[in-house]
Amino acid sequence: MSADITKFMPSDMRTRIVQDLIAEMGIRPLSNAIGVNSKTVYKYKFGSSCPTDETMMRILAVVKDEYPSLLKRYVDELRDNFSVALDILPKLGVRPIEKPRAAVPKVKMLRPEVQKREVPVERAAEATKFAIYENLGVSNPSDRMTLAKILAVMRGMQIFALADVAQKSNAPLDIVKKYTDMLVKAGYAEKTSRDIYQLTVKVQM
């Protein structure tokens, strides 16, 4: 079971599981139990490093044997996240993926002072969520699921604040901010005013 669950666990959940285990066992006993040196476990504790799938399998084996109630709590959280993601899409009226249209760059008349600003790379008028995953370098299935929930909420709002997106998607605010910054940098979104953003492409879910 651990091998199947691991690939769906996002990095923030992996960090929280390690932090809970450290609180119960201590750093050195945990490092001995999972075959990782203490310095690496320190990095896990403070979020500067994240357990790989293989290491996470060993961590979950310890949790399953020693703290089954803790494992159940995180498995239930994963199940709830999947349920929320599946519930959000139909409520937002997400349509089936359509064949991508030819790229139609947006043409805007800019004031002279605005023309001096750096112009982001132009994107096609539409983009599938899979194309966005690839361009942002998001490959972990669980991270893709989290980003899909965030994109679905953004797609259903003309303009949005990050706090609203976090609340509607049930994603942590820091994760929403991280992906929003990546979307802006890649040209998929833009900041229209202080703390207010909008997508610059139509996202096909």
CATH number at residue 124: 1.10.10.10
Q: Give the domain-ending residue among 67, 90, 113.
A: 90
pLDDT at 26: 93
pLDDT at 134 over 60: yes
Claim to verify: residue 109 and residue 193 sit in the same structural domain? yes
Q: Give the domain-ending residue among 39, 59, 90.
A: 90
Q: Give the domain-ending residue among 59, 75, 90.
A: 90
Print the domain residue range for 182: 96-204
| Residue linked to tokens 């969520």 | 129
pLDDT at 103: 60
Q: Which of 30-34, 44-48, 200-204 has the highest mean pLDDT?
A: 30-34
CB atoms within 10 A of CB 169: 23
pLDDT tens across 59-93, in order?
999 999 999 998 898 888 888 877 766 666 555 55
Claim to verify: residue 106 and residue 194 sit in the same structural domain? yes
- The total number of structural domains in the chain stands at 2
Claim to verify: residue 78 and residue 117 sit in the same structural domain? no
Claim to verify: residue 148 and residue 73 sit in the same structural domain? no
Claim to verify: residue 135 and residue 41 sit in the same structural domain? no
pLDDT at 175: 94
pLDDT at 156 over 90: no
pLDDT at 121 over 50: no
Q: Which of 21-25, 80-84, 110-114, 200-204 has the highest mean pLDDT?
A: 21-25
Contacts of 1 (CB under 8 A, 6+ apart): 64
Claim to verify: residue 22 and residue 62 sit in the same structural domain? yes
Claim to verify: residue 23 and residue 44 sit in the same structural domain? yes
Claim to verify: residue 82 and residue 171 sit in the same structural domain? no
Percent of the chain with pLDDT over 90: 40
- Where are the alpha helices (H) located in the chain, listed in sequence order? 2-6, 11-25, 27-34, 38-46, 53-66, 68-91, 112-115, 129-136, 141-155, 162-169, 173-186
